[in-house]
Structure 1
Amino acid sequence: MVRLHTDKAMVRLAAGLDEERNLDPAVAERALEALHRFRPVLTDLPADHVRVVGTNTLRAAANADGFLEQAESTLGVPIEIISGIEEARLIFSGVLAAGDGPPRPRCVIDIGGGSTELVRGEEKPTKLESLYMGCVSFSRRFFPEGEIRDKKTNHFERARRAARAELQGLQHMAADVDVVGASGTVKSVARVLNGGDLGTIERDAIDRLAEQVASARRVADLDLPGLEEERRPVFAAGLAVLHAIFCELDIRTMSVSPYAIREGIVHDLAGRLHGGDRRADTVAALMESSQIDAAQARRVGDTAVALLSSLREDAPREKTQRLRWAADLHEIGLALSHSNFRKLGAYMVENADLAGFSRSEQEHLAHLIQNQRGRIKSPREHYGFHPDPSLLLSLRLACIAHRDHTDRDIGDWQLSARKSGFRLSIPQVWLDRHPAIEDLLYQEAEHWRDQPQALRLQTD
């Protein structure tokens, strides 16, 4: 990996969430100003070479839609909101990309603004955790006035105890493996302890630093060599979380990686562009673990993609991939129930931790799986989630064509899109050979009658 350009802005978006989880307009504006500065870097890049990811704050914000609309307009590319577990996976991938020797078991720890990720693995993650604690959220919670201690309370100690409570039961994450820290909080502590360098963090050294910070009166009073001024407001909270991790997980030494989630995102994107899409591996693993009929998934997928091509010759690769994956997983709910397999399958796909997928991608897949047959349920649309009726129709027709799990040639079908809706033309002689499918197709036309784009079935 060769880094050609780097820029960053410390926005502290998590500081803008109020008690109702609404994002403060002033903080949102600060973030948008940073994005304006980044926009020129993206101007000449192909759209599929750009990936923008939103993490904990945008997962939590109740009013994120308005901000996302402005942010995407500013950048000119979509923003993917990812889960905490996906964030952890990308962090681990970024740390591995640093190439610090042969693969070995390790625990990677990253303290962000609103969440803390812990990942254990070797060449790939085997255990992933995302905890709702970070340097910004803990600053707001325990140091809102900038006081570290007053006459009654040691706020640093309260923050450290709260962090230790969050870590209960996770001692196994760092047992008998190398421990690696990543991102801002870990780097800032390392620099303070190592004269400005990213050296290792030793247990004795961080113990002494924690005592020193806990004895200060205010955040503004901290006089620590190597502490960057922009990091000062959240340093005490970040240190409290990191020291709690050392204590609760009994860590003696932590090395520091120069790479983290940004490099993980780049590494993941490179895989998508060059035949190593993590999402495809995730779908394949799901199919195997759920004992999905691979032959049926293939025949439905082939037919659905062919139908989509007749509707949209220039269908984007992402659309075709999504349709294929929906076909691969359309029967996943059968592992739990035959009568409610669509609803349960959609729930599984939308709520599972699917490596490589963003939240909106999982919502789209779930929508297709739930509506593969029967009455079409109108989804709760929000920013970033606008279902494509072409994908849904292609999947539904493919499921009809192969309802009996049989290979069937639909070369005589002609599907087209018009201003008034969709039209499916099939020779009557073909329908006469498949009377059950003929009935299902007429039912399908009825299901689309009240949709914005109706389906008209034409025979000749």
Structure 2
Amino acid sequence: MTEQPSYEPESLRIAAVDLGSNSFHMMIAEEFQGEIRTLEKRGEKVQLAAGLDNQNYLSEDAIQRGVDCLAQFGQRLQGMNPDRVVVFATNALRAARNRRAFIDRAEEVLGYPVEVIAGREEARLIYLGVAHTQADDGGQRLVVDIGGGSTEFIIGERFEAKALESLHMGCVSYTKRYFPDGKITAKQFRQAVSAAKQELLNIKAHYRHLGWQSEIGSSGTIRAVEQAIVSNGWGTDGITPEALKSVVDHCLLYDTVDDVDIEGVKPDRRQVFVGGLAILVAVFETLDLKHMRYSDGALREGALWDLVGRSGHEDVRTRTIASMQERFYVDTAQAERVEQTALALFQQIRGDIHARAELAQWLRWAARVHEIGLSIAHSGFHKHGAYLLQHSDMLGFTRQGQMLLAILVRNHRRKIHPEELELLPTRQQGIALWLIRILRLATVLNHSREAYDVPLPEVSIAQDTLCLALPEGWLDNFPLTAQDLEEEADLQKSAGLKVEFR
């Protein structure tokens, strides 16, 4: 079996890279006695969202700005264990129709996979980062994070989020949309505030019904507003409606976004400050906020805590899979049988297919939910299951992760569709095909649903041929399973794959 790489203590540190719509950030830390100790932080204003055209294609200039920034980050991340590094992309790449072009180039210079996360998953990670910076004093808190292309709203208590939402409004997109020529007028500012209020109507009633006892803001816009308030003497502790009005009145004194020169607002923030400010005004007025404090914790800090949870006592993705099993009435006993067989087969050939050990968890999760489509209809249930996995809100999973699960479930029975692998990153395609083949065999071997004991076959690989050896005479005694295996061999052959039984 091929040995997996070992890493020096230096590379056992953890890192999170946040590819935001306005800024890219990198944070490197280490776990120390149950806490995260920050070792290094880097950030750069890339303004990726500013490079989106009307058809949501990223410009070459925007792509190059991002790649140049990540080339620098990649130098610092070299040698770190890939299992201890996460790279998350948010709204700009969620929206970009040519994101694959960016991701391929980004992964080449960075050296690690780039994962696109859904808005609610972004909100969950933001809350996790904020919660770890706050006193554990109970009571529900509202967290608001104004990013470059989206704004996240979370209500939670302690470390548990109770409501998650991501709205399509951000400091870059709103500055671009409502101040397109760079000029600042009171009328344009009111239009931006009004548009943000319209977006907020989607969550207003639900969030006010849940209620909260404290209000916390995170990320660049809210930090800049609070610093402006303190630096100019408009307040001393956090953001209030009165202090916010002072910031607005001062901002409207300038003719263009390039002229904005407010003490406390850094130069690289000024060009998008007015758009973010309009959103914050709308948030205060719509949700009737009285006092907001700023928190240093945000997406990257939450990503690090989530990474610690994965390697420790809790991986939220496993909880999500369990929730889906319950929601769609999965036969968990059958799922466990398929899971155990699939994992046993995987371990026998892992070295031959050069698969990292962590891929076993994707096989495990796929086995646990491979029958969720049965809750919709038996006919084509593998297709129904794939649809659910691709389009559901699955906390902890990235868009690419959900796509991988969907493809495994979609192809676990009937015809194999190798062309669907092209929807995955190039680095995953070859391994994903092996996982599909293993999951299919595990499903066939457990077709009886424990009507009789099924021995674990010995499995090996000869080039691309998958060879299974069962106890002598066993298939003669169980002709239905023998027939199922023959049909499976034919299906794999139709996809250009070869399976042999002996």
Structure 1 length-normalised TM: 0.94
What letter corresponds to residue 317 of structure 2 in structure 1?
Answer: R
What residue is the counterpart of 1:282 in the other structure? 320
What residue is the counterpart of 1:140 in the other structure? 176
RMSD: 1.9
CA contact (8 A) 1:441 1:457 kept: no
CA contact (8 A) 1:54 1:82 kept: yes
Gap regions ≥5 residues in structure 2: 1-35
2:407 pairs with 347, 364, 367, which one?
367
What residue is the counterpart of 1:293 in the other structure? 331
What letter corresponds to residue 401 of structure 1 in structure 2?
Answer: L
Structure 1 residue 410: Cα displacement: 4.6
Q: Is the alpha carbon distance of 1:412 and 1:326 closer, same or farther for their aligned partners in structure 2, counting shifts above 3 Å? A: closer
The reply on whether 1:56 has 2:91 as its aligned counterpart is: yes
2:105 pairs with 67, 70, 73, which one?
70
What residue is the counterpart of 1:79 in the other structure? 114
- CA displacement, residues 369-416 of structure 1 (integer Å, 9 cap, x when unaligned): 111111112316145264422211111111111112117655462222
The reply on whether 1:159 has 2:203 as its aligned counterpart is: no
Q: Is the alpha carbon distance of 1:410 and 1:390 closer, same or farther for their aligned partners in structure 2, counting shifts above 3 Å? A: farther
In structure 2, how many angstroms separate the alpha carbons of the residues matched to 1:260 and 1:103? 20
Q: Is the alpha carbon distance of 1:27 and 1:207 closer, same or farther for their aligned partners in structure 2, counting shifts above 3 Å? A: same
What residue is the counterpart of 1:419 in the other structure? 463
- CA displacement, residues 197-217 of structure 1 (integer Å, 9 cap, x when unaligned): 994101111123223324532
CA contact (8 A) 2:139 2:212 kept: no
Gap regions ≥5 residues in structure 1: none
Structure 1 residue 189: Cα displacement: 0.6
What residue is the counterpart of 2:201 in the other structure? 168
What letter corresponds to residue 333 of structure 1 in structure 2?
Answer: G
CA contact (8 A) 2:341 2:456 kept: no
1:131 pairs with 140, 154, 167, which one?
167
CA contact (8 A) 1:190 1:198 kept: no
What residue is the counterpart of 2:386 in the other structure? 346
In structure 1, how many angstroms separate the alpha carbons of the residues matched to 2:298 and 2:394? 20
Q: Which moved more, 1:78-87 or 1:205-214?
A: 205-214
User: Residue 162 of structure 2: SS of its match in structure 1?
Assistant: strand
| 1:112-123 equivalences in 2 (<5 Å) | 112-122=147-157, 123=159
User: Residue 117 of structure 1: SS of its match in structure 2?
Assistant: strand
What letter corresponds to residue 190 of structure 1 in structure 2?
Answer: E
User: Residue 7 of structure 1: SS of its match in structure 2?
Assistant: strand
Q: Is the alpha carbon distance of 1:47 and 1:420 closer, same or farther for their aligned partners in structure 2, counting shifts above 3 Å? A: closer
- CA displacement, residues 63-86 of structure 1 (integer Å, 9 cap, x when unaligned): 111111111011111111110110
What residue is the counterpart of 1:218 in the other structure? 256
Q: Which moved more, 1:247-256 or 1:171-180?
A: 171-180
In structure 2, how many angstroms separate the alpha carbons of the residues matched to 1:54 and 1:223? 30
Structure 1 residue 248: Cα displacement: 0.9
In structure 1, how many angstroms separate the alpha carbons of the residues matched to 2:61 and 2:408? 38
Structure 1 residue 317: Cα displacement: 2.8
In structure 1, how many angstroms separate the alpha carbons of the residues matched to 2:330 and 2:230? 54
User: Residue 41 of structure 2: SS of its match in structure 1?
Assistant: coil
| 1:328-343 equivalences in 2 (<5 Å) | 328-343=368-383
In structure 1, how many angstroms separate the alpha carbons of the residues matched to 2:80 and 2:499? 41
- CA displacement, residues 243-297 of structure 1 (integer Å, 9 cap, x when unaligned): 1111111111111111100100000111111232111111112212222111111
| 1:196-235 equivalences in 2 (<5 Å) | 199-235=237-273
What residue is the counterpart of 2:13 in the other structure? none
1:41 pairs with 61, 66, 76, which one?
76
The reply on whether 1:455 has 2:502 as its aligned counterpart is: no
What residue is the counterpart of 1:28 in the other structure? 63
What residue is the counterpart of 2:33 in the other structure? none
In structure 2, how many angstroms separate the alpha carbons of the residues matched to 1:24 and 1:423? 49
Structure 1 residue 428: Cα displacement: 5.2
In structure 2, how many angstroms separate the alpha carbons of the residues matched to 1:220 and 1:106? 35
CA contact (8 A) 1:311 1:390 kept: no
Q: Is the alpha carbon distance of 1:177 and 1:408 closer, same or farther for their aligned partners in structure 2, counting shifts above 3 Å? A: farther
Q: Which moved more, 1:95-104 or 1:234-243?
A: 95-104
In structure 2, how many angstroms separate the alpha carbons of the residues matched to 1:285 and 1:310? 30
What letter corresponds to residue 366 of structure 2 in structure 1?
Answer: A
CA contact (8 A) 1:148 1:219 kept: yes
CA contact (8 A) 1:412 1:427 kept: no
What residue is the counterpart of 1:389 in the other structure? 433
- CA displacement, residues 284-340 of structure 1 (integer Å, 9 cap, x when unaligned): 122122221111111110000111112224642321000000011011112222223
Q: Is the alpha carbon distance of 1:297 and 1:198 closer, same or farther for their aligned partners in structure 2, counting shifts above 3 Å? A: farther
CA contact (8 A) 2:261 2:270 kept: no
What letter corresponds to residue 157 of structure 1 in structure 2?
Answer: R
In structure 2, how many angstroms separate the alpha carbons of the residues matched to 1:445 and 1:198? 72
In structure 2, how many angstroms separate the alpha carbons of the residues matched to 1:458 and 1:31? 50
Q: Is the alpha carbon distance of 1:420 and 1:294 closer, same or farther for their aligned partners in structure 2, counting shifts above 3 Å? A: closer
The reply on whether 1:241 has 2:279 as its aligned counterpart is: yes
What residue is the counterpart of 1:437 in the other structure? 481
In structure 2, how many angstroms separate the alpha carbons of the residues matched to 1:198 and 1:270? 36
- CA displacement, residues 418-454 of structure 1 (integer Å, 9 cap, x when unaligned): 22422223345110121111001000011111324x2
Percent of aligned pairs sharing the same letter: 37
What residue is the counterpart of 1:100 in the other structure? 135
Q: Which moved more, 1:184-193 or 1:162-171?
A: 162-171
In structure 2, how many angstroms separate the alpha carbons of the residues matched to 1:199 and 1:418? 69
Aligned residues: 455
In structure 2, how many angstroms separate the alpha carbons of the residues matched to 1:73 and 1:297? 37
What residue is the counterpart of 1:310 in the other structure? 348
The structure richer in strand per residue is: 2
1:319 pairs with 359, 369, 373, which one?
359
CA contact (8 A) 1:106 1:177 kept: yes
Q: Is the alpha carbon distance of 1:407 and 1:325 closer, same or farther for their aligned partners in structure 2, counting shifts above 3 Å? A: farther
